[in-house]
Amino acid sequence: MTCEEFKALAPAWALGALEEEEREACQAHLASPRLHEGCESALARAQQAAQLLAQGLRPVVPPETVWNAIERRLAQETEAAVRRDSALPRWSRLSRTLALAASVAVVFLLIGNRLGRSEVDRSTIVPLRELQARTASDLSLSQTARTHLEGVVEDCRRDLKSADDSFAERQRALALLAEPTTEVVGLAPQPNFSSSGSVILNRGKHKAMVFAKSLGLVPNRDYELWIIRNGDKIPAGLLKVEAGGSALALIDNQLLDSGADAIAVTLEVAGGGTVPHGPLVLVGAIKKG
Amino acid sequence: MRQPASTSDSEADELSQLRRAGRGEAEALHSLYERYAPIVFAVALRIVTNRTESEEVVQDTFLEVWRRAAEYDPRRGSPIAWIVTIGRTRAIDRLRARGAQERMLAQADAAPASARSPAELTEGREARERVQAALAELPAEQRRVLELAYFEGLSQSEIAKKTGDALGTVKTRVRLGMEKLSATLAELWRVDRP
């Protein structure tokens, strides 16, 4: 199937009107690693248009019992997940999380690689008119991706601004966040913890900060930061948790410059240690620079 | 005013809520529910024509959003399109599972959605009226094939069988109807942009 053929079928696909074999062919085409000519954006546009049929209906508010039932199911699923996870050894949980995070990083790399490769292809083989069309399509894609990433940065900025005012480092973090080359890496909360966090990272300036929130204060326990490199867990200091449950810490730039696959936070006995013993609280994979 | 294609602000907001739901924040899921459950419910009522089943479709939809929020890919469409597509798919699955005969019984039993629970949202009303006007402008045969596909889950060949039209004619109507919807979408987008 060519991209032109795909785009001709995209409206019927978005409507759900394709035959099974046509739909499978479209799925296979979209999943192929070839250089596409605006296929994804054509499908997205068709889906938006098809959705007008839903938009034309008069909205009807479901009864409250529907949300109540959803909440009950969420609670059951969360409880089951916590039970399943508690059965695993601590660092098995970390490995599993890192594997997931690494897959996300690989997807990012593949996308980057694909876009990078398409630049080379365009400059060498495609006619000018086609080049213009493809560039417009890719610009539309990268615009959407940028909106997504900007949202991550905005989340982090909002959280920082609402954090405890006593933070001396807060302005520094906001300034770092304002740098155009700064990346924000989300730290995923682990089962049994409702904390969340981000790593604010600027490779060019050799600066990185960790910001976490909703860290519960636990007597005789400290939150400790770790850099994971080639499977080694390197201690990177304790997080000073403010009364509001937020913590902001600068990561040692020498530690980070030596490379990091991931950053994690664990809950350790007061004072921390050189190897992690406590439960994993937050973890996030760092993309290769 | 909200509009179907969503402005960049509301889209960024929806993306943020989906990301938070993907991280396990139930509050974010609730915000998405408040905003989109009425549309999903309306679609489900239109498809399965049974109130209890439509409520179950809404439940299933938002549980699926919760489980799959981390997989959402913004390149494949806006959050609202993704959520409504999940709801529509769930409703069509139920419709297929139930079979035609039972569906006819349910239709006879079900009151129109608006009669039982009007609870119409005022938000988006103007956009909806414009969408309805645009749909009304579609030639009847084009609107019919679009509705048969979208609300009854029929493929183009099934539509051809049902209507007695040639497959090629159905495909042309789908294409022309969708082109007009796209033009409507572009028009709404242009009008609503600041």
pLDDT tens readout for residues A39-48: 888 888 888 8
Higher pLDDT, A167 or B79: B79
Give the contacts of B112 (CB within 8 A, at least 6 positions apart). none
Confidence of residue B189 (pLDDT cuts 50, 70, 90): low
What the block records as the tokens of B89 is 């798919």
Count Cα neighbours of A190 within 13 Å in the Cβ-side half-sphere.
25
Number of A–B residue contacts, CB under 8 Å: 200
* Total-model pTM: 0.52
Residues of B in contact with A15 (CB under 8 A): 146, 149-150, 174, 178
**Residue A155 touches partner B, C-beta closer than 8 Å:** yes
Positive or negative, the Cα torsion across A158, A159, A160, A163?
positive
Segment A80-89, tens digit of pLDDT: 665 655 555 5
Residue A172: its pLDDT value, please? 77
- Tell me the nearest-neighbour CA distance from A96 into chain B, angstroms: 16
Residue B54: its pLDDT value, please? 93
Q: Is the pLDDT of residue B170 over 90?
A: yes
Give the contacts of A179 (CB within 8 A, at least 6 positions apart). A202, A205
User: Is the ipTM value over 0.85, yes or no?
Assistant: no
Closest-CA residue of B relative to A139 is B75
Angle between helix A3-15 and A39-55 (nearest 10): 20
- With tokens 């200091």, the residue in question is A237
The SS3 of residue A47 is helix
Which range has the worst mean pLDDT, A166-180, A183-197, A230-244, B173-187?
A: A166-180
**Residue A56 touches partner B, C-beta closer than 8 Å:** yes
Identify which of A20, A56, A59 has the shortest CB distance to residue B132. Answer: A56
Give the contacts of B182 (CB within 8 A, at least 6 positions apart). A11, A45, A46, A49
The CA–CA distances, whole Å, from A102 to A95, A99, A105, A106, A251 equal 10, 5, 5, 6, 21
Residue B120: its pLDDT value, please? 36
The answer to whether the CB atoms of A141 and B75 lie below 8 A apart is yes
The answer to whether the CB atoms of A59 and B55 lie below 8 A apart is no
Residue B76: its pLDDT value, please? 66
Confidence of residue B3 (pLDDT cuts 50, 70, 90): very low
Confidence of residue A195 (pLDDT cuts 50, 70, 90): confident
The answer to whether the CB atoms of B23 and A144 lie below 8 A apart is no
Residues of A (103-142) whose Cβ lies below 8 Å from B: 141
The CA–CA distances, whole Å, from A145 to A29, A149, B73, B98 equal 21, 6, 9, 40
Residue A150: its pLDDT value, please? 59
Q: Is the pLDDT of residue A193 over 80?
A: no
Closest-CA residue of A relative to B144 is A53
Segment A100-145, tens digit of pLDDT: 554 444 444 434 443 333 333 333 233 333 433 433 443 343 444 4
Distance CA B7, CA B30 (A): 21
The answer to whether the CB atoms of B4 and A59 lie below 8 A apart is no
Segment B8-49, tens digit of pLDDT: 556 667 778 888 887 777 888 898 999 899 999 999 999 988
Residue B19: its pLDDT value, please? 80
- With tokens 């943020």, the residue in question is B16
Which burial class, exposed, middle or buried, applies to A42 when counting CB atoms under 10 A from its CB (0-12, 13-18, 19+)?
A: buried
Closest-CA residue of A relative to B54 is A62
Higher pLDDT, A162 or A258: A258
Distance CA A30, CA A15 (A): 17
Q: What percent of chain B has pLDDT over 90?
A: 31
The answer to whether the CB atoms of A43 and B77 lie below 8 A apart is yes
The answer to whether the CB atoms of B117 and A63 lie below 8 A apart is yes
Which range has the worst mean pLDDT, A127-131, A212-216, B14-18, B167-171?
A: A127-131
Higher pLDDT, A235 or A255: A235
Which burial class, exposed, middle or buried, applies to A191 when counting CB atoms under 10 A from its CB (0-12, 13-18, 19+)?
A: middle
Residue A164: its pLDDT value, please? 55
What the block records as the tokens of A165 is 């005012």
What the block records as the tokens of A114 is 């694909």
The answer to whether the CB atoms of A17 and B24 lie below 8 A apart is no
Identify which of A54, A155, A186 has the shortest CB distance to residue B88. Answer: A54
Segment B124-156, tens digit of pLDDT: 566 677 778 878 888 999 999 999 999 888 999
The answer to whether the CB atoms of B131 and A154 lie below 8 A apart is no
Identify which of B23, B113, B155 has the shortest CB distance to residue A60. Answer: B113
- Mean confidence (pLDDT) of chain B: 77
